[in-house]
Structure 1
Amino acid sequence: MFSLKVLTAVAAAFAAVSALPTEIETPVGSGCVITNIDQVSSVTSSCTNIVVSSLTVPAGKTLKLQLKTGTTLTFKGKTVFEATQWQGDLMEISGDKITVTGESGHVLDGQGAKYWDGKGDKGVKKPKFIRIKATGGSVFKGLHVLNCPKQCVSLNSCDHVTLDNWTVDVSAGDKNNLGHNTDGFDISSSTNLIISNSVVKNQDDCVAINKAQHVTISNLKCSGGHGLSLSVGMSKTSVSDNTVTDVAFKDCTVTNSDNGIHIKTHSDGGAGVIKNVSYKNIHLSGIRKYGVNIEQDYENGKPTGTPKNNIPITGLTISGVTGTMTGSNSKAVYILCASGGCSGWTWGVSITGSHKDNYCKNQPSNVKC
């Protein structure tokens, strides 16, 4: 016979167990760790705390991480993308209110050296590396991106997203001048975006903005590429697709690069606008071609020397821009505006060491060339 005291204790224990929640999230380490591409669909559809651990992604496959609202995703160890000639994205991350981080020592390796041929987009087929489509205050922090085959990080249709403390390292592509079109961050169709405290080492634009509103880029360290860029006007169908407004670059450095600041509009596209863009406290060093290059004459991806006013540049602020040039053909400032195409600028540029005189045409009257 059990004593009354024992029976009472058993009953209390049973009641406590019965009171536990019936739905308990599966902890990381028990079904929410991705170590094989075949696990991706089931894990992302059932877990909100996910680890991608030492994953090898088969050639020709996209690591598509479509995350549930509020998910935390952590990369651990080396994520390697096997190589083949194709034009997909190696990885796509999407979701609302998500947090994506990397453990210390992790790396996302695109194995770019297996693609690089010195021709970039025009050579053998190469995939873009990472595409992000996120919303709702999503945060991507502390990621280490290595050796992109071509464009590294594409931000599309993002709203209220922060990227902080990234390292994008394609410096191995400098060898024999093989790496090309390795843009660091490409931004299109996005709003309320922050990129901060990050490093980009590459052979093309450190940042390139095509279509965006309310973007802040701060404390970015760029080297080896084409600088802090806007490239606007490639769409022939919609003014909104050719619009960049309320964008701020501040407290950034650009070193050992072709350009420091580059703004180009495409005269063979449709109408559009660049408005209220600022570059403040930007330090340049070892710039080979142009310190500040603003031109309204791109067609078929190249400058023509004949500017057009389909995309006016208004409310531009370039102030506290300092630094040095190098190279026998370097110019501190090159401005080629169409008649009436540029107005309402604020200007404060002090760049030394250029080997050729500045060139300016149709710039606002307060811009001293």
Structure 2
Amino acid sequence: MFSLRLFSVIATAFAAVSALPTQNETLSLGGSCTIKEFSQVSSVISSCTNIVISGLSVPGGKTLDLKLKKGTTLTFEGKTVFGVAHWDGPLLQISGEKITVKGASGSVLDGQGAKYWDGKGDGGVKKPKFVRVKASGGSVLTGLHVLNCPRQCVSVNSCDHVTLSNWNVDVSAGDKNKLGHNTDGFDISSTSNLLIENSVVKNQDDCVAVNKAQHVTISKLQCSGGHGLSLSVGMSKTSAEANVVKDVHFVDCTVTNSDNGIHIKTHSDGAHGTIDNVSYKNIHLSGIAKFGVNIQQDYENGHSTGKPKNNIPITGLSITGVTGSMTGSNSKAVYILCASGGCSGWNWGVSISGAKKANSCTHQPSNVKC
């Protein structure tokens, strides 16, 4: 009788212990997978695949480096504030395969840009870049509110099969006294199979700048205050492969109160490269101060020289359904500066009103009526 009772007690205790969650299961069930202190970051991201970052303060001079396990879901809640320090950054880096990163309703990533801005952007006091995304495998990053970038906001670098959806990149506070500068919305480099959709950028530089990329779609993006929908190709001098933009498409976007609507520039001091099969379709412009469509092959050392080169030919370019209005006192609807033999095979449909100066075109394809 005694042995049977003892066996029953042992069996009951064993069953209770077996029913307890393992360490990883405990982490995945609740509090231990919520990051509220910077010191928790490393242990949580190495242990959990369902993570919440809630009301976090990141020390100045430190990167919130989220190297997520495959398949992880991470949610930002409340305000994540990045401390001030004069360094290169990035303040936040997100990487992983098949990851999902979400911003909960009301959440904010605050870069405290006003504490850096001096009107000199990349010059002046040293300012960190804000967000770097290096993801792959069908990753989705959605609903993130990026506020007051010190300088470049979101670098999409070395990504493959990634979607960025419903982002709000807001640097509009940098308009005050023209202190915000070099606050690019999305910079895209060394990336393939990318979709950016249903997002808003308010800034003082390129809304989007594509440097090196293939198979990219940018859809329903609302840009204001900056330099428009841009390609900037040829900055790398290492090889032709470093300067290829191919199969990139802007669709159903708006650009308001900006210097440029569409801006394509190639760097004549860089290596050779190509721009091929790029399209802008159904783009609406309003309040454009300088150029509605600006295409030039004459950039050297970050400046236009007026002397175009054909080291990076622009072929298969389609700009159709581009409409809108200009407001600047020196505005031009269309400015094209191609080198001889540098531009070919374009499809053209542009109707922009209100420019104060006549269009100016050099060596454009014969079907492009300037």
TM-score category (smaller protein): over 0.9
Deviation track 1:50-90 (CA, whole Å, cap 9, x = no partner) reads 11110011111111111000000100000001112111211
TM-score (norm 2): 0.95
For 1:85, the equivalent position in structure 2 comes to 86
Which runs of structure 2 are paired with 1:290-301 in the superposition (5 Å)?
290-301=291-302
Code of the residue aligned with 1:346 in structure 2: it is: N
Distance 1:21 1:64, change over 3 A: closer
Contact 2:24 2:47 in 1 (8 A): no
Q: Percent of counterpart pairs with the same letter?
A: 77
Residue number in structure 1 paired with 2:186: 185
Which stretches of structure 1, 4 residues or longer, exceed 3 Å deviation after superposition?
7-24
Q: Deviations over 1:170-205 (max 9, x none)?
A: 000000000000000000000000000000000000
Cα distance in 1 for partners of 2:185, 2:168 equals 10
Q: In the aligned structure 1, how far is the partner of 2:41 from the partner of 2:24?
A: 21
After TM superposition, the structure 1 = structure 2 runs for residues 64-83 of structure 1, keeping only pairs within 5 Å, are 64-83=65-84
Q: 1:37 to 1:11 in 2, by over 3 A?
A: closer
CA distance in 2, matches of 1:150, 1:259: 19
Looking at structure 1, the residues matched to 42 and 63 of structure 2 have their Cα atoms a distance apart, in angstroms, of: 12
Give the total of aligned pairs.
368
Maintained 8 Å contact 1:225/1:256 = yes
Asked if structure 1 preserves the Cα contact closer than 8 Å seen for 2:260 and 2:291, the reply is yes
Q: 2:265 maps to which residue? A: 264
Contact 1:109–1:146 (CA under 8 A) maintained in structure 2: yes
* 1: CA distance, partners of 2:23 / 2:185: 42
Change (3 A) 1:112 1:21: closer
Please list, as runs of the form range in 1=range in 2, the aligned pairs for 1:264-343 lying within 5 A after superposition. Answer: 264-343=265-344
Amino acid at match of 1:183: D
Distance 1:307-1:47 versus aligned 2 partners, 3 A rule: same
Letter in 1 for 2:294: N
> What is the deviation of 1:27?
2.8
| In structure 2, C-alpha distance between the alignment counterparts of 1:187 and 1:116, rounded to whole Å | 23
**Equivalent in the alignment of 2:208:** 207
**Other-structure match for 1:241:** 242
Residues in 2 aligned to 1:28 and 1:193: alpha-carbon distance in whole angstroms: 32
Quick one: distance in 2 between partners of 1:17 and 1:76?
34
SS of the aligned residue for 1:27 comes to helix
Per-residue CA shift, 1:248-282, capped at 9, x if unaligned? 00000000000000000000001000000000000
Listed as ranges, the matches of 1:81-120 within 5 Å are 81-120=82-121
1:155 aligns with 2:156: yes
Q: Is the 1:28–1:50 contact (alpha carbons within 8 Å) kept by the matching residues of 2?
A: no
1:61 has 2:59 as partner: no
The alignment partner of 2:235 has SS state of coil
- CA distance in structure 1 between the aligned counterparts of 2:155 and 2:48, rounded to whole angstroms: 25
SS at match of 2:31: coil
Deviation at 1:29, TM superposition (A): 3.0
* Deviations 1:324-344, CA, capped at 9 Å, x for gaps: 000110000000000000000
1:272-327 deviation per Cα after TM superposition (whole angstroms, max 9, x unaligned): 00000000000000000000000000000000000000000000000000000001
Per the alignment, do residues 28 and 224 of structure 1 end up closer, same or farther by CA in structure 2, a change over 3 Å counting? farther
Residue identity opposite 2:125 in structure 1:
V
Tell me the SS of whatever aligns to 2:42.
Answer: helix
Q: Which runs of 5+ in 2 are unaligned?
A: none
Equivalent in the alignment of 2:166: 165
Measure how far apart 1:91 and its partner are. Answer: 0.8
8 Å contact from structure 2 (residues 320, 350) kept in 1: yes
CA-to-aligned-CA distance 1:122-152 (integer Å, 9 cap, x gap): 1110000000100000000000000000000
Aligned partners of 1:75 and 1:102 also within 8 Å: yes
SS in structure 2 opposite 1:121? coil
Range that drifts further, 247-256 or 19-28: 19-28
Distance in 2 (alpha carbons) for counterparts of 1:209 and 1:232: 7
